[in-house]
Each structure stands twice: as structure tokens, then as C-alpha cells.
Amino acid sequence: MNILLLNGPNLNLLGEREPSVYGTMTLAQLVSRVTAHAKKKGAKIRARQSNSEGALIDILHSHRKWAHGIAFNPGAYTHYSYALRDAIASIQVPTIEVHLSDVTQREEFRRISVIEPVCVGRRYGKGLQSYLEAIDDLVARGVPADLGLHT
């Protein structure tokens, strides 16, 4: 099973940015832990990160025939990017929205997700564990039969 691990804006600063909210783990450490977890489950990870909305859309599009599932932390784009929402809907690859923090207990604007309606699940508020649970959820779903051949 192939899983795209996609992280959006400012996640490249994990470990430095608001450690009281996001923790001290760096993005490289997070990717390493998620990759090791996925490998134990028989899944292969491709990890990507961008601060640019257009680049995130390009990454989603370019992985649509490779990925059987996507674990995606869109960062602040969660709350207003209809372009990312449409990209997820258009590629028809099962996607789980992921957040390190509990977005339901933060500022009012963070409680809104325009991404969630086109995702098969949402994991948040547990730091690294949110990502690991998303991987578990995608592996449990299995390889979608209607996605065709993925190499």
C-alpha cells in the first residue's frame, strides 16, 4: 500500500514554531516516525511538504495514480482553501485530514474545515499519534479496487 504523507504551510518549522502547541518534534523526526510505523503495517510512505497552496495541489495531482491513501495536514489552508478541497475531491484517493493540535479547542476560525467533507476521516489533537492513527485508518481501508494499478 502506498500512502502520501502531505504537510502544508509552516509545518517545516515543527520543533521551533509554538512548541507549547505543536511540540518539539521536527518535521524530519515526524516523517521518520510515521514512515517506520507505516513500514510495520506493510505500507510505503512518500512524504512531501510545501508552504504553497499551488504546490500542494500539484503534489496531490502528481500522486493520484501512485497513492492508495493520503494523510494530509493542510495547516491553515484547512479553514479556507476550496482549491485544496476541490483537488482532494478530484483525485478520488481516500484522504484523512490530520492535525497535531486539537483544532476544535483553539481559535474560532480553526474550528472550521472546508477540507473535512471530502475526506474519509479526520484525526487531530494527539500530536504524532494523530498521524499514526491516520496511517492505521488508511491501512485498515486497504487498497481501493477502483484506483487502478499503482506502481
| pLDDT, tens digit (0-9, with 9 covering 90-100), for 105-138 | 777 877 789 999 999 999 999 999 999 999 999 9
C-alpha cell, 43: 505500507
99 is catalytic: yes
**Which of these is catalytic: 68, 99, 124, 131?**
99
All structural domains of the chain, each given as residue ranges with its CATH number in brackets, are 2-147 (3.40.50.9100)
C-alpha cell, 110: 480553526
131 is catalytic: no
Q: What is the separation of C-alpha 144 from the centre of its chain, rounded to a whole number of angstroms?
A: 18
Read off the pTM: 0.91
When pLDDT is averaged across residues 57-78 and rounded to a whole number, the result is 98
Confidence of residue 20 (pLDDT cuts 50, 70, 90): confident
Closest by Cα among 119, 134, 4 to 61: 4
**Residue partners of 129: CB distance under 8 A and separation at least 6:** none
Q: What is the pLDDT of residue 99?
A: 96
